[in-house]
Each structure stands twice: as structure tokens, then as C-alpha cells.
Structure 1
Amino acid sequence: MTDPVTDDYIAECSSPHSRLRDVVGQVRFPQRYFECFGDRLMPRPFFIPQRQIRQSAQDLGALLDILADLPRRLFDGDMGQYCNELDISKRQAALMQRIPRDRPTLFGRADLYHDGERLKLLEFNVGTQLGGIDQAQVPAALLTAEPFRAFADEHGLDYVHTGRQIAKALREAAEPVTAGAEPVVALLEADGALERLMPLMRSFIEMLRGCGLDIRLGEVSQTRYLDGKLVLDGTPIDVVLRYFSVNQICQDPKGEEAVEPIFRAHEAGGTVLLTTLDSFLYSSKGCLALLSDPYWRGAFTAAESDLVDRVLPWTRKLTADLVEQCRDRRESLLLKPANDYGGHGIVVGWTTTDADWNEALRANCERGYVVQERVVPRREPVVDPVTGRVEDWVAAWSAFLTPDGYSGSHIRALPAGEHGIIGRGANAATRVTGVFHY
């Protein structure tokens, strides 16, 4: 079942002379955003009770506290054992620990499904390398349209602008460097990555500049270390918004050399790196398997175990001992590479044959994969603005977290008849929209 605000919205859009039905098509969006997402916009935003989304974010913050403590609890603080358990290579581990800290910065995006009762966690992307932030442009634009504004006022709708939260976090992180002055921000990607991502980056930068930030775009090897500070194209940088990953750095034989000026500037205190690469120690899906597996439950309190069971579906590291059990559960399981992202390498059991599923289990056993129980998302009704028909969609919800806590949400969705992973890069039928709470 959906929520009452969605029911009211669908009813209004279904009326013969509805002014809401095509309101998304009538709204003027920022130029770069529309160039990137104009043909991928859903006909309506999504709605959720404020208490539900904020409780979910609070649970995610508590879960990150547990994740950050796993090396101590499970491996007596031995990071080598911890990384080995998560199939993190020695080279990757060295990068992740290049700037060691006790706790990762509260910064990330959780990907969730709504099962009809609650939001369930699928993945937890810890760090700043996050997509979907600029979907905050959707609620902002919709509120400029009188028909939607009237609906929003009637139902007490509001939203959290993720871009403004990110801008606030960047300003606060830069304060030790800038003494409160406006920072110069560098959004840095891995070498060779920007050309492919340029439409997304232009939309993102358009939004951040709209939040008042002086932001520059570059790749890691374009930077230099000079007198305690990072320099990009001759401009001293106060804070780095990191979009490069450990995997990307390790794909380059000279990756460590390229990224070293950023580390040096952070250590010197002239430039702040938000966030450091230690965040990847807790982004691995293998971490979720450690939380879910009863073998490790003795390390958690009763309240922590209850939190894990409430938030997280059954998740295990794929081992030889588990293969036989997984064969018989093909229609309720999927395989995921523990240390990849963007939907890469995922095998969806219920869309494969028995033979292909068995081969995937055999090929990926003991190779850094996790197996996770399927969460069946509730159906989300959407009125087609052309036909007026109500159609069912399924959605992946997000919850963004920053040092201030809950920092907004966005939606990626597929028509209910589509199968597979919901994601812009994983399925061309994926559509996006923003989220209001009430």
C-alpha cells in the first residue's frame, strides 16, 4: 500500500481536468540539469512521511557507527585481517589507510527499497562519490508551479535540498583553512573519467554554483602540491570534493603517485580532503555480510542486532559452504561483487536460468562476492500524463547523510514490468525524480 499523500496525488492526476498530471512537463528546470535528465524525468515526485525517512536516516547513522567499529570488535583492531576478510587487496588497503582515522566522516548515500512496511537497506555508499545529489532540483522546480504549490501547501509538503547540505558541509570542512571565508572547492575525478561523466558533472556543478560555491572541476593528475596547499590549474584549493575511488586509483599503475599531492596537502593542513579514502573500508558490501551473519553476532548488543535485522536483508559472503543452499534459492537471491558499484557485476537470480545461476555461483565463489536476499519493492502508482492511465512502477529510494544527519532523498524507478537492477547506468528504462516529506 502507498501513503495517503500519494493516493491524493494520483486521484488528482486522474481527474479529467487535472492541472497536476503534466506539471513536471510544464516546469522550467535548470539548463544543465534538463540537458542531462530531461528525457529521464518521471511524471511525478514521490512522497514519504517525515518521521519514516528521518528514522531510517537515524538507523543508518547508528549502523555506520557499528561498521566503523567492526575491525576492533571482530578482529581485535587488526586491519590486515579485516581487509583480508573483505577481499580488499594489500594495495587497496594501503590507499584506504593512507590517512588513518578512528571514524569515517558521516557522509554517504544509502540505497533502499520500500517493502510496503519499511525501507530496507541494499547498499551503503560511504564517502562523497555520490550520484543523485542534483535530483534536489526537482522539488525546488516543482514548487515554482502554482498547481503543485497549492497541492504542497494543502498537504504540508517539504523537502531537504541535498545540494545545500553538501555546500554547507564543504564550507564547514574548509573553515580551518579559510577562517570562515568562502572556500575554493575542487571536484576531482580519476584520470580519464571526466569525459564520459561530463553531462552529469555539469549538472552537479550547476547546482553547487547555484548554492554559492566557487567550484572547479578536474582530474587527480592535474593537481600539484605547492607550499602546503593543493593547486589546480594555478588556483589554490581549500577543499576537495572527492569523486575518485580506490578502485579507480588502483587501475592506474601510477595511481598512488597521481593522488599523492592531494594527500600531502591534506596532511599539511592547507587543503581539506572531504572525504578521505578510509571511507571505502566501510562501503564494501562485505561489511553488510559481517553485520548479517550470525557467526559474528556475539560482537553486537541486543539492540544492535535488532537494528541490523530491521534494516538489512539476509546478506552473506559467498563461500563454498553456502553454494548448495544458494542454488535452491535462485528466485529469492542476487549476487553482488563486494567491492564494486554502479550495478556492475550483479547477477539477479530471479531473471536467470538455473544453469546460468549455478554457473554464476561456481564462478564467483570465494571471489569477493556477497549473496543477498531479494527485497520485493512495493508498487508505486504513476499517472501517465499522455494516456491518463495509472501504471505501476518500482522504485529505489535513497537517503543522503552528511555531518548534519539526514540530507535529502531521490528516486530511481522502473516500470513494474521491467526486470533487473534499477539504475541509470544499469538499465536505460530507469527514470528519476525527487522526494517530498510530510
Structure 2
Amino acid sequence: MTRDSVTRSYVERCLEEGSALRDLVSRVPFPREADADYRSILLPRPTFVPHDSIATCADDLTSLFHVLTSLPDRLFGGDVDGYSRELGIDPRRAALIQRLGGEITLYGRADLYRVDDSFKLLEFNINSSVGGVSWSDMAKYMLEVPEFREFADEHGLDYVHTGERFVRALREASRTVTGGAPPVVGAVDCDGAMAKYRSMYLSLQEMMRGFGIEMVLGELSEVREKGGRLYLQGRPLDVVARYFTVEEVVASPDGEKVLEPIFRAHEEGRVVLWTTMRTGLVHNKACLAMLHDQRWRDAFSAEERALIDRILPWARVLDSGTVEAGGTTVDLLDYCREHREKIIMKPVNGYSGIGSYAGWEQSDRDWRELLAGARGRGYIVQERVVPDPEPIVDPESGTVRDHDSVWGVFVTPEGYGGAQVRATPSGGQAVINMGADRRVKAAPVFRHAS
């Protein structure tokens, strides 16, 4: 069982006859939209982590963010176009990413595995389109169940509400537009997305209302410009919260044209685009592979190299390069063929695990063909990480089953911005994502003293 004492205590309580904690999820008093979004995807219990452990993780992520955003200057002398070419970003995407200036905003969700009470980074989603912000309400409403509140008080549990940090970041970013008043926020996604993610957006809107923020929901083609202001659903906007991605914009021949009024309004201080497309410079997974590439190793300080080695599994762009292994230099493709059981392959611009292939799930022949077909076509290869199991008590059977869990840790301009977990029974697929696989469930994260 887990080394986490609070997890062990919670599981033991759930195994007691007549335990009031075992069916916690069925008794959480969610409001309407949150209930529709959360209830069916909740794990039977929340997850727990020591304060020190999650604080160290967030500090490492913040430090890694600053390393990543320094790469164009540090490795390419400020030549952003050269940096973009190295990442495989074509001219159209590069122009879109660089359309607006300014610094990249520290905001995003890192997906990590927990290993021996530390964390290993799988990918770093640095942009405003990441999901799960409203999931921190799960923790808020769980604490309204008396038996869980008693357990939380007994163990000194607390949590960071991601939505609260999100709201504070938006209020601060929009200060030049609103003068400090609560902003009207437009959650803007690509055309067709609102219907697909309706429950998520409605629960987000409900959560924002609880913080005194009006959030208007809509799609790119619905944004209107009138009298110097941007409007969505008839409401003037102070902030455009961007939920559309670079890939979704370039999927349309007129994508940039549709976006231009938003860009101009941002430049002229009439609205804040949060976040800008410049996050595309560090959202690309090839950025992480750069940190392990021997060509760039000397560009980082000893402290930075220690950070990279501590949190980031080995990764490389799948190209025609070589890799150091056992004191010798070998062909990267040969290395990947030989170490199939230890490598996962991912598209640099992928999301939700789409297009990812775990070597340990492939035959030797299929793996060779996948590697050959992906080489030089925008993929990275990354070292396999095996997470510590999370024991979960089934509310109906009362049996314990281990789960593999991905920790989604948010970072904001304030630092640690809360966390959530996605989990599935151990022994399942390599990629753990919500969606088609109904075995994948979610849970909030509570902190406790070490």
C-alpha cells in the first residue's frame, strides 16, 4: 500500500464495516452544473499529498518554466524564427505565435506521475486552453459532507482552489482595462467546441459566478467588434480567455483573419487576450526534448541541469540524431528499437494522448514501423515512467484496487495553483485521459503536513 499516511488512514476507514467515507461521492452536494460535469467522473475518494512534496513540485515547475521561456535567447541568440524552425514550427504557425509581443504568461497545467513521493513531468501544458480549472470545486463541496469534514479536520487537510487563482490572475491581467473592477470574461473556443464541451463550460461559468465574475461563453466566429469594444453574446468584454489553440486556428484558411480584431483590441488596450499565442513557443513538446539534447547541455547551469534531471524524464526529438548510452554514442532510432519496453512516442503538438504510442504495448515489428514512419515528422520519444499506485476502495464491493494516476498540477503567477488527479485501474492503457475511456476518473487533491 502507499507510503502516504493519510491515504493509508483513509483506505483503512473505508474498509471498516458501515464506513461513511466509502460512499462519499454519492453524498457530495454539488450545485446543478457542477453535478452534471463532475458526478459521473469522480473517483470514489480524493487524493492526498504532503505540503512539502507538492510545494517542491510547483517550485520546480516554475523554475522549469523560466528555463523554457529563455530558450530562444539562450540557445538562438534571440532568433525566434530559428528557434521555431528547430522545433519544427512552420512559417504560418510561427507568424501566428509571434503576432503579439510581450512575455509569456506563467499559467498552465503540468501532467506528472508521482514516484517515491516526488514527481516526474510527462508534459507541460503552458497556455490558457487547459481544462480542469473548475474541478477544484470538487474539493470545496466534498468538505460539506460531515464525515469527510471530520476526517479533514483530524488530518489537517487543506487545498488550493485553482478557480480562485484563475480569477485573481484574470483580475490582475485586466486591471489596465477595468481599473480594478471585476472584468467581464469571454471564454472563447474554436467553432464547434462549445457544444462538445458544454458541461465543462457551464460548470466553469457557474464557478466564476461564485467569485463574482461574469463569464460569457462563445466561439470565435461569434465575437463582434462595435464602437471600439469586443462583444460576445451581446456583452462587452474586458478579457478574452483563450480556449482555442494554434492548431485549431490554422485548420481554417481564414483563421488569422477571424482572430485579427481580437489581436488589435489587445494591442490597443481595449481588451486582454489571456493568454496570447506566444505560449506556442513553449507548449510544443520538443521544447522539453531540447533540455536533454547534448548539443545544448552546456547552456544550462549546474543547478538547472539538476532540475532537468530531477523532474524531467529523458526525452529527445525523433530525428536523425544520436544518443549517449552506456558511455558510447549510438543512433537514436537504434536505441529506441532496442529499448521498446522503456519508451513512449508522442506528437510534439498532440493533446489528450492522441497519436501517442507506448513501446511496451507494441510488438517489435509494429514498433519498428512506427518509429520509421514518425522519424522527422514531429514526434518526441520519452522515457517510460511507472507511477506509484493509488489504492482505491470500491464503494459497492468494498475491495481495494490499485490505480495509476496522472497528477495535473497548476501553476499561476502566484506559483502553485492547485492540483487534480486522473486515474484508471492499474494495468490499463499507457495514456490516462478523460474522454472515451470511461474507466478514467478524476479527483481533487488535498494537502497535509509531512
TM-score category by the smaller chain?
over 0.9
TM-score, normalization by structure 2:
0.95
Is 1:429 matched with 2:430? no
Give the Å deviation of 1:435.
Answer: 0.4
Q: Structure 1 stretch 226-235 or stretch 38-47: which is displaced more?
A: 226-235
Q: Is 1:375 matched with 2:376?
A: no
1:94-105 correspondence runs (5 A): 94-101=95-102, 103-105=103-105
In 1, Cα distance between the equivalents of 2:333 and 2:104? Answer: 34
- Runs of 4+ deviating beyond 2 Å: 224-229, 425-428
Question: How far did 1:172 drift?
Answer: 1.3
Secondary structure of residue in 1 paired with 2:283? coil
Question: Quick one: which of 393, 399, 414 aligns to 2:409?
Answer: 399
2:24 is equivalent to residue 23 of structure 1: yes
- Displacement after TM superposition at 1:233 (Å): 3.1
Deviates more, 1:414-423 or 1:364-373: 414-423
Q: 1-side partners of 2:144 and 2:373: how far apart?
A: 52
Partner of 1:308: 308
Give the partner amino acid of 2:45: R
Alpha-carbon distance in 1 for matches of 2:136, 2:234 = 32
Aligned residues of 1:190 and 1:243 also touching (Cα < 8 A): yes
TM-score, normalized by length of structure 1? Answer: 0.98
Give the Cα–Cα distance (whole angstroms) in 1 for the partners of residues 228 and 291 of structure 2: 40
1:392–1:416 contact (8 Å) kept in structure 2: yes
SS of structure 2 residue aligned to 1:408: strand
Report what 2:354 is aligned to: 344
Letter in 2 for 1:176: T
Q: 1:363 aligns with which of 356, 373, 377?
A: 373
Q: 1:106-148: CA deviations, max 9, x gaps?
A: 1111000012241111100111111111211211111101110
Contact 1:107 1:403 in 2 (8 A): yes
1:227 Cα deviation after fit: 4.1
Look up the match of 2:325. none
Measured in 1, the distance between the counterparts of 2:222 and 2:15 equals 53
User: Aligned residue for 2:329?
Assistant: none
The residue type equivalent to 2:88 in the other structure is D
Q: C-alpha separation between the residues in 2 aligned to 1:242 and 1:207?
A: 18
Q: d(CA) in 1 for partners of 2:166 and 2:253?
A: 32
Identify the residue that residue 239 of structure 2 maps to in structure 1: 239
Question: Secondary structure of the residue that 1:303 maps to in structure 2?
Answer: helix
Which of 330, 354, 359 is the aligned partner of 2:364?
A: 354
Q: Which residue of 2 aligns with 1:415?
A: 425
Q: Which stretch shows the higher mean deviation, 363-372 or 338-347?
A: 338-347
Corresponding position: 1:385 with 2:395: yes
The answer to whether structure 1 residue 331 and structure 2 residue 332 are counterparts is no
Q: Distance in 2 between matches of 1:391 and 1:92?
A: 45
1:295 counterpart SS class: coil
Q: Which amino acid aligns with 1:341?
A: Y
1:37-76 Cα shifts (integer Å, max 9, x gaps): 3222110000000111111111111111010110111111
Code of the residue aligned with 1:325 in structure 2: it is Y
Equivalent residues of 1:242, 1:274 under 8 A apart? yes
- For 2:386, the aligned partner's letter is V
1:343–1:426 Cα contact (<8 Å) kept: no
**Partner SS, residue 282 of structure 1:** helix
SS at match of 1:410: strand
Report if aligned partners of 2:96, 2:246 keep a CA contact under 8 Å in 1: yes
Task: Give 1:291's aligned residue.
Answer: 291
Partner of 1:282: 282
Distance 1:30 1:309 in 2: 43
Map of 2:327 onto structure 1: none
Structure 1: gaps spanning 5 or more residues: none
Q: State yes or no: 1:203 paired with 2:203.
A: yes
Cα offsets for 1:372-428 (capped at 9, x unmatched): 001100111011111111110010001111111111000100001312210003633
**SS of residue paired to 1:294:** coil
1:69 partnered with 2:70: yes
Asked if 2 retains the 8 angstrom alpha-carbon contact of 1:127 and 1:275, the reply is yes
Name the % identity: 46
Contact map agreement 2:38 2:138 (CA 8 A) in 1? no
What is the CA–CA distance in structure 2 between the aligned matches of 1:136 and 1:16, rounded to whole Å? 30
Partner Cα distance (2:369, 2:436) in 1 = 22
Partner of 1:86: 87
Where does the alignment leave 5 or more consecutive residues of structure 2 unmatched? 322-331
- Secondary structure of 1:418's counterpart equals coil
Amino acid at match of 2:60: D
* Aligned pairs for 1:171-190 within 5 A: 171-190=171-190
Counterpart Cα distance in 1 of 2:194 and 2:18: 45
- Counterpart amino acid of residue 47 in structure 1: F
Q: Give the distance between the partners of 2:124 and 2:436, measured in 1 at CA.
A: 18
What residue is the counterpart of 1:150 in the other structure?
A: 150
Letter in 1 for 2:40: D
Aligned residues: CA RMSD: 1.2
Q: CA deviation at 1:429?
A: 1.4
Q: Is the 8 A contact 1:228 1:269 kept in 2?
A: no
Question: 1:208-223, aligned counterparts within 5 Å?
Answer: 208-223=208-223
User: Would the aligned equivalents of 2:53 and 2:117 in 1 still touch at CA under 8 Å?
Assistant: no
